[in-house]
Each structure stands twice: as structure tokens, then as C-alpha cells.
Structure 1
Amino acid sequence: MELINTNEKFILTNRKKNVLVIEKQNNEIYVGAEFNKINEGERVSNQTSIAGFIGIANLLSGNYLIVFRDSKRVGDVLGNEIYQIKAVELIPYHPNQQSLVSIPEQHSEEQHLEMIRWLLNSKDFYYCPNSVEFDVTQTLQRWNTIKDQKKPIWETADPRFFWNSDYLERVIKLAKSTNNNEVCQWIVPIFMGFVETGTLNGKVEFTLISRRNLNRAGTRYYVRGIDKEGNVANNVETEQIIQISKDTYSSFVQVRGSIPLFWSQFPDLKYKPKVQFYGTQQENDRPLSIHFNQLNQIYGNVTAVNLIDRKGSELALGNAFEKGVKDLKSEKTRFVWFDFHKECAKMRYDKIQILIDLIKPDIDKNSYFYVRHGQVVSRQTGIIRTNCIDNLDRTNVVQSIITRNSLTNQLDQLKLESSVFSDNHFNGIFKNIWANHGDTISLQYSGTGALKNDFTRTGKRSLRGVIRDGENSLARYYLNNFRDGVRQDSFYLFTHHNDIDLANHVERGSVGPSPIFYFLVILLLAFVFWWSYPIHPIASVIFWVGLLFILKKIAFKYNREIVDKPRLFPLESSYPLKRNL
């Protein structure tokens, strides 16, 4: 793809020689080779190759063209290649447009640009270049249902996973008004999630695709629970695909998502922040009902597998969740509570089979989507919805085992020997892809790889895995308390681009040094004092223990000021009033 940047417009030309022109002055958009011309007196500032066009962002100083310079092929679904986005750039319409706003606004805009770059350059975004013929935001079953309707991509794309829809708003508007197929070629949805493919014997392809819901997207402690529209945090649709050929394949879908109640767990320097509940039972029942109704409409029957503890703060949360589901009185929704930590204590992960035995009738009844020689043989009529407290570590372990259970049936239907699954090569592919998937989904939400992932990767827990879990837990503690404010704002800025009044945004970093800086200064001064004036060993121990005790007391007293808080994302304003369970 080629991009020409002039003082009057952007001219983009794709591999099919289709041309998209964006006028800088009035932001008008034109499609067609007849617009590919440079006017007299028009200056070309840059002409370069790019890999793709994401859309147009409107920030404080004006508009920015969002493109990416590079991409990596990561898979192929029914002959349609899927790519991972790399090297994203935001190109200003005018070189000096930031000079038109105030100095504080310039600083804020640089931070906004950095947030968007950080998110889009995370290597967590994917796309299918052939979006006119194949919609990667849809599962194979949904796509099979709608593909013959010959609708344009902007109409078929699942809005939950169409992350750049707002940024393509002008192009979509042109497509709607002109019904021009050439315009649709410039509407390429991108989604956040995970894609990886492994090949067995050069003919059987195993692909895992996860699509993250952009509604209520964010970080581990700042986004929990549900909103008033029924959207839950860390909501991910995961599809496992087995392909023999373009017309013989199967697909199995699961979802994960936060407990669908109004609750929060904002970081406060404690290892496990207190769970806070909001709203009356009635206020919680409505969005919970919306959530499960949406799942029923999209997927059919739902088995809600709850993996949290039956003790402590998780107990109250689990009880409220169980009551909410039972109050639905829905034949399409079933609740199963499996206390993962209790049942699998002392690394007895073989006991997960107890859960599998409980839900196996649902897995078998729901079936999976299967197409043989172009003809639909079976459809998936329901899903397993899994959650733990974070919907990461326990959830990934259980999802991998559930999908493994379904995989045997898929291989039988595809006329492949079940022994293929026990083949070391294929078994290794399956475990590694699911472990990579667990790490990626965890990185997006918590900032670190998944815990308990050694079991997913090797089939057993190990001392090395436990040590890695400890390292990741410490890293999570640091990131969730001291880095997640800006990460949360990055998610919120990108997904609510048109809803935020950026002019009122307090520029990040303007409040001075981090509180941690002052703590380190105090510790340094204390060390200098201790070194300069040697004291008795016992007195030395008392001195350091006392100092650390005082610092801890101060830290927890002013914890809300110490943790890194988001400034764009509204914290409690979206919740009803607090309550105790």
C-alpha cells in the first residue's frame, strides 16, 4: 500500500490500485482513481509504503491519520490470511498543527498520542486484509449464517470486536451514502485479542482466535464487574478451529468475563484490595439479566462456570452471582460453582475432572460447528461462560481443558484418528498455543503473563512454575498500583475517543515526582544516617523495623494519593451507591 502526503490531502493506494483521498482542509473523503492527482502548486511532503490504514483520530490540535508500517502473518482461516499489526504511526494533517493550541494542551496531546501508540503497538491487534470477502470479527458459525446475505463489512462486523469503527466513521458514512464496493475495501476492522496457528502433518491446521470486547475494556483492578448496559470486564470470546480444507472444518467457542454485578476492587497498595459492592439487588439484577439475554441471543444456552473461592470476599461475590442467575429463572442459563483453589489444593489439578464431569452433558449437548465438504453438519447451540476473580489464570486452565474435551469429538467427526491428539507433536502444539494464549490475554488485562501457565503448557504443575507465579504476582502488584492509571486511560481514550472532552483533561505527569520517589529519598537519608552514625546491632534492627513500620502506616493512610489513578476514565461515577453484602 502506498501513502502520499501533500499539503492538501492524503492519497492512499492499495494493492488492487484502489485510491482513497482524504482532503485535509474540509476532511472530505473520495474514492476512485480519478482523484489520484496532484494539483498545481500542491507540494508532496512524503511518499512511502505502509501496510494498512486504521482510521482518523480527532485530538485537541486537529486530525491524525492512523496507519501501520508493518504486519506479520499469523494464520489463515478458510483461505483468508490474518495479520498482526506492527509499527503504528499517527500522522498529523499539518506538520505544525500542535502550535495552534496552548502549551499545556500540547503537553496533553503528546500524552494522548503516546497512549494510543502504546495500545496499538502492543502487538495485540489483528486484521484480515480481505475484509470484503471474510469478516474476522465473526465466529465461523456466525459468518456462515450471514455471508450469503452479501452485506457490506461495516454492516456485518460485530461491534463488540470492531475496535476501529469510530476511527473509520467518515469512510463508513461514505460507504452508506454511495453503496460503493470500492469504499468498503477501505473498511478493514481490527480487533484486540490473540491469534496463533499450528499445523499437523502439513494438512491439519489448529487455530486459536480470541477477540476482546471493546466495551468495558481496561486493566485488572480499575475495570471489574458489569456496567448498566450489561457489558462485563475482561470479556473475551475464544474460538478453536480445526481445518482440513477450505470446505471441511470445525469450530468450538467459549467466552470469559467478569462476574456480572456492580463491584469494584480499586488498587490501594494492599495485595488484595477490598471488594466493594454497589447498588441494590434490583439494580444489579437488571444489567445481569441484560448480559445473559445477550449471551443467549448470540450463543444460545449458557453454562456459567464460576471458579472463585467459597470463602472471604469471594464468597459474598459468588453468593450474589449465584442468586442473580437463579432469579433469572431461565431454562437457557445454568450456574455451576467449582471452588478451584479448594478442589485443586496442593497442585492436585487432576481434580478439574470433577468439574468436567459436571458440565460434560452441556458440552456434548451444545456440540460445535462442523462443516464437511461445504455442508453444515452440526451447529454449536450453547457456550460455557467461565470466570474466576480476574478471569485469567484459573479461567485459562479450565478453558483449555474444556476445549480439549470437545476436541476429541471434533477429531472424530473430521474422520481423524483420536490418537492424533495424543501424538506428541500435536499435543505440544495444542498446549503451547493455549499457554501463549493465556499469557497474552493476561498481559492485556493485568500487565504480566498468566499464573498456573506451566500446567497449561506441560500438563502438570512444577516448582519452576510456582516460582514464576511468584515473580508475576510481584510484577502485577507493582504494575496494578503504580502503572495502571495511564494504562487504563489508554484503553478508555481509544475506545471512547468521541465521548471525551479532551480540553478538560488534566495533563498526566504535571503533579510532580511520584510518591515512590519521596519514599526512596527517605530511605536513602535513613541509610546515610545509619551508615554515618554506627549504632548497636539491636538498636539498628529496631531503627529499621520502626522506620519501615512508619513508612507503611503513612503509605496506607495516603494510599489513594500514592497509587497511579486514571484521569480520563471515570471511576465510581458509573456505579450506583455503595452497599455491603
Structure 2
Amino acid sequence: MKPLHQRLNLYTNGNETYTFVPAEPVGARSLTIYRNSGDIVLNAPNAPLPVTAERSGKTIYGIFGIISLTLSEYIIIVTGRELRGRLMGQNVYRATDYDILPLNPDIQVAAPPHLVEAHLLALVRSHLAGGTFFFSYAWDLTRRLQAQWTSLKEDGDKPVWEIADDRFFWNKFLQTRLIDVTTGNPDQNLSPYILPVIYGTFDIRAERINGHHLRLCLISRRSRYRAGTRYFRRGIDEHGHVANFNETEQILLVGPDDTSVQLSFVQIRGSVPVYWAEINTLRYKPDVQIMDLADNVTDAMRRHFKENTSIYGEQSLVNLVNQKGHEQPVKEAYEKYVAQVNMPNVRYEYFDFHNECKHMRWDRIDVLLSKLEEDLTRYGYFHLDSAKPEPVRLQTGTVRTNCMDNLDRTNVAQSAIAKWMLNQQLRALGLLHETDTINNYAQFMQDFREMWTDHANQISIAYSGTGALKTDFTRTGERTRKGLLEDGWNSVMRYLKNNFFDGARQDAFDLITGSYVPRRGYVPVSLIRDSRPLIIRAVPYALSFSLFMILAGLTLPRTSDYSLVYYFLLWFVLLALSLVFAFAYGIEYVSWPKLVPLTHVIYYNGPGFRSARSGMGFSIPLPALEKLGTQGRKLAEMHRRTKSKLDAVEMGTKERVD
């Protein structure tokens, strides 16, 4: 695999060019991007710089990519990095800081000439600041160890971007311009500048067991397909991609040399692979929507499992969704379609997590392990010994775990499975006796728990906006009351973020991954304009003002002996009416994504199941509010139609471009 340039110096020639010059090796071909035309040119070795070129004071650690917005293209560069460890003798970094360079000479990133361009740039910046992005210049972080070994010969001297796993090459859409130049002209090989980045987690720690030195590494890789936030990306799409798909690889390296003995165990997680959604309505539990599209569902599910089995081998599907209450329809839909596709090498296993582990009986997770033990033993793990020409063994299958969000329950289950497999690996290497476990090694066990807890939190933050729940069990092996309080706080924060802030987060995902491509030269003002009916926009102000007046009446000193009963009655009635109206029209107050609207999901009226149709107006109008409710429904319907028309006209291209 050809290594990448690790440091670049940036030279700006007025409004004409950006030139990136590798700090080493001396004489390497520099890269020039022309600002007016957008042309990208790989210069001859030792090509001189323009006399008027000025060097930037910052060192650049890689080009994250190039993104096109409505008024200009922008180069995203990595200007800060943090060393997170070494894997197979190669440094692994986390990107910590970025700069955005406009190609249009008339645009300043700090003060764009239009509010829409400023809005889109803010989305880009928020995604970069909120994500956890890792990269290596000489090691392919996108692929697990077994995949790298099996394709070792055919990879040869190919550049890392060409052999990277397409699913986990997070910035591939942003690298499209550089890749197109490289593939279109053999003399313009920009491969040393194309830096693949993963969105996920990376942790590696030195350990010691019975006098043996080893290193434990945990990597998660988030798929760029169907990427997004908790309530705005659920289920599967027609291509077989599921929401919140993550591959987790636990690596064990034994001996003084990282490459001496390598063991790897892989698990995956992903949303329930049917067409389903949860519709935010301001209520704590959203409306569950199952879209029973028959052949479409089975085709998509079959594609999903076919891809997984071709990559990982056999599949054990572990479903942790509740069998009663709010989650029951999702469980039943999953089981219905799994039975219909009836694919070989795919086995379904249901585990009622909350029922089995109720009353803080977290040891009951062993029941799940006992059900999976035969499969896990058969699947095994990847084991490579450098003293032998072939791997000692290969992993021939994997466990695919899901709950509703693929976060909290999934984290507990995956960490338990990983611990079970780690014990098997250490025993096979002779580092543990047959009856010995890592529980007997306090420091090792503490590191294992911390790694899995940090891993759980980062995956959860990316999807839900907060840390994971139940991490006290992952960190300590016990469920505690302090953990319950922390879970309560995180649940409240999830509610607030998922209802009032995730629309912009989803827009940022869609922009970075290419699910939405802005149309150059056209500025869609609907992105920043609030076109909801006046009464919808006025209610939050009425609610806030009435709450303010109540607090003022309770706290400010009184200057009169008159009773405040009628005063409080007035403002409490206004507060109550505002709350009733807000929850009745809850859908109008949720922060929805605007780049790729979800109108077809929110107002779906085809075959399937919906737990309720909340937040769409007064379905049973109160006598005093009947007229208001009727008018409100008409306004909401008119608003919905208007939004759909605006979306169709102004949203630009929505097809993914890779």
C-alpha cells in the first residue's frame, strides 16, 4: 500500500491558486487548485512556486475533501491532529481541527455573501466539530484485519483510497473531485493526497497477563450509507443499507512486535432491516410507523443479508427489541420478513432484554451467551501468526445485534460477547488456564470495560446526541443507582436534542455524505425561511411570555394589596392553552431536516401499522376549540402541500454521488 503525504505546506497566490507542497520527501509533486476554474493539477517534480505566492502559517495534515455549495466550492483541510496510538507499527490519528478554503475569490468563509451559504457552511463546520474522525497515512483503517490479509496479494501497491472499504470511507463523497482527476488521467495521480477517514472510535492499550505483554485494540467504523440521527434515519432503504450500521473490531496483539501474533473478532450492529420509522410529535415516545411494502421490504432485506453474508460469512441475528408495548410492532415486522426471506446462513435469535434483565439482574445476559455459544464457537475469530504462512484460523461468521436504537442494549450485549470471545482467545494462546478468566486480572478488566464504555458513548453521541445508557454496567459490571440517575439525565437530553436540534444535524450528515447535493448558482431560501402559518409560529411566544409572567408574579416584590388570583388564572390559562395547542400540533414544532425532507414518512398512509397519529391537530376537537382546530388542520395541510412544492422546486439534486 502506497503511503500518503503526512504534512503539507499551503501557498496562496492571491485570488488565483492554492498550492499544496509536501513537506517530505523533497521534490515531491505539488498540487495546485485554480480558484476561478476549479481545475486541479499535479505539478511536475520540483516545480517552482509563483513569486507572489504566500505561505500559510499552519501545517496541513491532510485534505479532508472538496465540497460544492450554492455559491462556491470549498476545500476542507485538516490543520490539527492528535496521536491516538500505533497499530501494526503505524500511527493512528484523530483529526482535531480544520480550515475551510473557498475557491470563489469573492467569498470569505467568515462572512459569506448570502444567508443560505452561511447556513450550509455552518452545517459543514458543525459536522466536523461534532464527529470523531480517525485516519492513518500508512494503514487502512477502513478494513478489518482479515479483509486486509485475504486481499493482500491483489492489493499490491494500490493506493489506500482504492482498496478502502467503501462503506466506511466516510469522506469518499468529498474526495470525489480528487478521485475523478486520478482515474481520468494516469499522469495526474493524486493518490498521495487522497486521505480516507473513518467516523467511529479507536482505542489501543498495553496490557499484561501472567507475564505476557499484549495490546488490546477496539475500533468501530460507521457506515456512510443511510447515515444520520436517531429519529430521522431508521430501518432500511431500497439498496439494503440500514441506519446506524457499525462494524466493531476487537484486536488482540501478542508479543513485543505488533505483527507477531494478531487476533481479531468482528461484530456488527444496524437498525431493524424493514421500512419503519418513529415520528417525533413532542411526546416522549414518538409514533411508531411500519411501512408494510411487501415485495419492497423482502427485496431490500435480502440485499442487506446477501451483502453481509458475502462480507462476513454466516449471520446470527440477535434482536433485543421488546416483545410488548411500544416496540412490539417493530419486533413482529422483523420476524415476519426474516421468515419470508428465509436465507441460508442467516439464523434469527430473539432475546427479551428488558424482561430477562429486569430488577437489575444484568447477570442474565449470560442467558443470551448460552444461546449463541454454539454459533460463536463455529464462527471463531481471525488468528494470524507471522511464523506461519497461512492464518491459524479465519472468522467465518458474525453476530448482528440490534435493539430499537442499536445503542444501549446493543452495547451491553456486544461487550458481553466480546468478553466471552476474548477469554476463548487467551485460552487458545495458553495465556489463560481453561477455568481462568480476565475477571481475575483487575487492571486488564478495568481497561476492557473502559474501552467498551467509551466506544458505546461515542457511537451513541453520533446517533442520539448523548452518551449511551446502561454504561455503568459496561464500566463496572454492575447496575447502580447512580447509573440510573445518569441514564435519566441522558434520556431527558436525548428528548430535547432529538425533538429540537436534530434537524440541522441530519442536514449536516446529508450534506457531507452526498445524500443532498446543492445546486450551484441557485440559493434555496426555503432552507432559512420559516413558512409555517402565523398561528403556529405565535404559540411558542405566547407560551414563553405566559411562563415569564407567572414567574414574575411569584418573584417580583408586590406594590399592591390586590389579590393575584385573577392575574395567575389568566396566565395559567394561557400557558395551558399554549401547551395543549403545541402538543396537538407537535409535528410543526419538531426540528425536521430540510435538505432531504421526510414528508413521505411523516404523512405515510399506505399499508402497515401506526401506533397513533399524534401531533397533527385536534383529532377530537374540544368544544371551545373546535373552530380553531378545524382552521389549524387546514393551515397545517396547506403548509404541508406548500412545503412539498418548495422542496420539489428548490431542494436541488438529492441523488447520492459517489
With structure 1 as the length reference, what TM-score do the two structures score?
0.92
The residue matched to 1:37 in structure 2 has which SS?
coil
Q: Retained in 2: the 8 A contact 1:308–1:340?
A: yes
Aligned match for 1:484, one of 496, 502, 517 = 502
Q: CA–CA distance in 1 between the matches of 2:112 and 2:131?
A: 33
Identical-residue share of aligned pairs (%): 33
Classify 1:541/1:309 alpha carbon distance in 2 versus 1 (closer, same or farther; 3 Å): farther
The residue matched to 1:165 in structure 2 has which SS?
coil
Q: CA–CA distance in 2 between the matches of 1:442 and 1:435?
A: 11
Q: Retained in 2: the 8 A contact 1:141–1:251?
A: yes
The residue matched to 2:366 in structure 1 has which SS?
helix
Q: Please tell me whether residue 551 in structure 1 is matched to residue 562 in structure 2.
A: no
Residue of structure 2 equivalent to 1:412 = 427
Q: Retained in 2: the 8 A contact 1:84–1:127?
A: yes
Aligned match for 2:397, one of 375, 382, 400 = 382
Give a deviation string over 1:400-443, Cα, whole Å, max 9, x none: 00111111111123332255723111100000000001111000
Q: Retained in 2: the 8 A contact 1:505–1:568?
A: no
Quote the offset at 1:181 in angstroms: 9.8
Q: Retained in 1: the 8 A contact 2:41–2:188?
A: no
Classify 1:565/1:298 alpha carbon distance in 2 versus 1 (closer, same or farther; 3 Å): same
Q: CA–CA distance in 1 between the matches of 2:524 and 2:472?
A: 42
Q: Please tell me whether residue 349 in structure 1 is matched to residue 343 in structure 2.
A: no
Give a deviation string over 1:12-66, Cα, whole Å, max 9, x none: 12343332222223333233453642335x4437453122211211112212111
Q: Retained in 2: the 8 A contact 1:219–1:484?
A: yes
RMSD of aligned residue pairs (Cα, Å)? 2.7
Classify 1:204/1:181 alpha carbon distance in 2 versus 1 (closer, same or farther; 3 Å): farther
Q: Please tell me whether residue 31 in structure 1 is matched to residue 51 in structure 2.
A: no
Write the letter of the residue equivalent to 2:253: Q
Structure 1 segment 362-441 matched on structure 2, within 5 A: 362-373=375-386, 375-417=390-432, 419=436, 421=438, 422-441=440-459
Q: Retained in 2: the 8 A contact 1:278–1:578?
A: yes
Q: Please tell me whether residue 126 in structure 1 is matched to residue 134 in structure 2.
A: yes
Give a deviation string over 1:59-106, Cα, whole Å, max 9, x none: 12212111011111113221122111111111112453369x995xx2
Q: Retained in 1: the 8 A contact 2:237–2:300?
A: yes
Quote the offset at 1:550 in angstroms: 2.6
Q: Retained in 2: the 8 A contact 1:506–1:567?
A: no
Quote the offset at 1:118 in angstroms: 1.2
Q: Please tell me whether residue 511 in structure 1 is matched to residue 530 in structure 2.
A: yes
Classify 1:38/1:386 alpha carbon distance in 2 versus 1 (closer, same or farther; 3 Å): same
Structure 1 segment 201-220 matched on structure 2, within 5 A: 201=208, 203-220=213-230
With structure 2 as the length reference, what TM-score do the two structures score?
0.82
Q: Retained in 2: the 8 A contact 1:307–1:387?
A: yes
Residue of structure 2 equivalent to 1:523 = 547
Q: CA–CA distance in 1 between the matches of 2:317 and 2:607?
A: 25
Residue of structure 2 equivalent to 1:135 = 140
Classify 1:32/1:414 alpha carbon distance in 2 versus 1 (closer, same or farther; 3 Å): farther
Classify 1:230/1:574 alpha carbon distance in 2 versus 1 (closer, same or farther; 3 Å): farther
Give a deviation string over 1:336-356, Cα, whole Å, max 9, x none: 111111111111111111111
Q: Please tell me whether residue 172 in structure 1 is matched to residue 172 in structure 2.
A: no
Residue of structure 1 equivalent to 2:334 = 321
Quote the offset at 1:572 in angstroms: 4.0
Q: Retained in 2: the 8 A contact 1:279–1:577?
A: no
Q: Retained in 2: the 8 A contact 1:505–1:567?
A: no
Q: CA–CA distance in 2 between the matches of 1:152 and 1:86?
A: 24
Quote the offset at 1:198 in angstroms: 1.3
Q: CA–CA distance in 2 between the matches of 1:314 and 1:67?
A: 43
Residue of structure 1 equivalent to 2:350 = 337
After TM superposition, the structure 1 stretch with the greater mean CA deviation from structure 2, 494-503 or 61-70, is 494-503
Q: Retained in 1: the 8 A contact 2:543–2:579?
A: no
Residue of structure 1 equivalent to 2:202 = 195
Write the letter of the residue equivalent to 1:28: D
Classify 1:332/1:514 alpha carbon distance in 2 versus 1 (closer, same or farther; 3 Å): farther
Classify 1:263/1:376 alpha carbon distance in 2 versus 1 (closer, same or farther; 3 Å): same
Q: CA–CA distance in 2 between the matches of 1:260 and 1:309?
A: 16
Quote the offset at 1:372 in angstroms: 1.0
Q: CA–CA distance in 2 between the matches of 1:206 and 1:329?
A: 37
Q: CA–CA distance in 2 between the matches of 1:268 and 1:429?
A: 41
Classify 1:44/1:199 alpha carbon distance in 2 versus 1 (closer, same or farther; 3 Å): same
Write the letter of the residue equivalent to 1:429: D
Q: CA–CA distance in 2 between the matches of 1:371 and 1:432?
A: 26
Q: CA–CA distance in 2 between the matches of 1:334 and 1:208?
A: 26
Residue of structure 2 equivalent to 1:157 = 164
Q: Retained in 1: the 8 A contact 2:69–2:519?
A: no
Quote the offset at 1:333 in angstroms: 0.5
Q: Retained in 2: the 8 A contact 1:279–1:579?
A: yes
Classify 1:525/1:332 alpha carbon distance in 2 versus 1 (closer, same or farther; 3 Å): same
Larger Rg: 2
Q: CA–CA distance in 2 between the matches of 1:536 and 1:282?
A: 68
Classify 1:178/1:172 alpha carbon distance in 2 versus 1 (closer, same or farther; 3 Å): same
Residue of structure 1 equivalent to 2:467 = 449
Q: CA–CA distance in 1 between the matches of 2:417 and 2:55?
A: 55
The residue matched to 1:204 in structure 2 has which SS?
strand
Quote the offset at 1:376 in angstroms: 0.8
Aligned match for 1:467, one of 485, 504, 507 = 485
Give a deviation string over 1:254-287, Cα, whole Å, max 9, x none: 0110001111112110111010111422221111
Classify 1:562/1:485 alpha carbon distance in 2 versus 1 (closer, same or farther; 3 Å): same
Q: CA–CA distance in 2 between the matches of 1:107 and 1:203?
A: 57
After TM superposition, the structure 1 stretch with the greater mean CA deviation from structure 2, 455-464 or 570-579, is 570-579
The residue matched to 1:445 in structure 2 has which SS?
helix
Classify 1:416/1:338 alpha carbon distance in 2 versus 1 (closer, same or farther; 3 Å): same
Residue of structure 1 equivalent to 2:372 = 359
The residue matched to 1:376 in structure 2 has which SS?
coil
Residue of structure 2 equivalent to 1:226 = 236
Residue of structure 2 equivalent to 1:294 = 307
Residue of structure 2 equivalent to 1:569 = 596
Instruction: Structure 1: state its 5+ residue gaps.
Output: none
Q: Please tell me whether residue 77 in structure 1 is matched to residue 77 in structure 2.
A: no
Give a deviation string over 1:181-205, Cα, whole Å, max 9, x none: 9632111101111111111149311
Q: Retained in 1: the 8 A contact 2:357–2:364?
A: yes
The residue matched to 1:456 in structure 2 has which SS?
helix
The residue matched to 1:75 in structure 2 has which SS?
strand
The residue matched to 2:445 in structure 1 has which SS?
helix
Q: Retained in 1: the 8 A contact 2:527–2:595?
A: no
The residue matched to 2:404 in structure 1 has which SS?
coil
Write the letter of the residue equivalent to 1:12: F
Aligned match for 1:266, one of 279, 284, 291 = 279
After TM superposition, the structure 1 stretch with the greater mean CA deviation from structure 2, 153-162 or 21-30, is 21-30
Q: CA–CA distance in 2 between the matches of 1:251 and 1:60?
A: 45
Classify 1:307/1:518 alpha carbon distance in 2 versus 1 (closer, same or farther; 3 Å): same
Classify 1:32/1:355 alpha carbon distance in 2 versus 1 (closer, same or farther; 3 Å): same
Residue of structure 1 equivalent to 2:67 = 57
Write the letter of the residue equivalent to 1:135: D
The residue matched to 2:151 in structure 1 has which SS?
helix
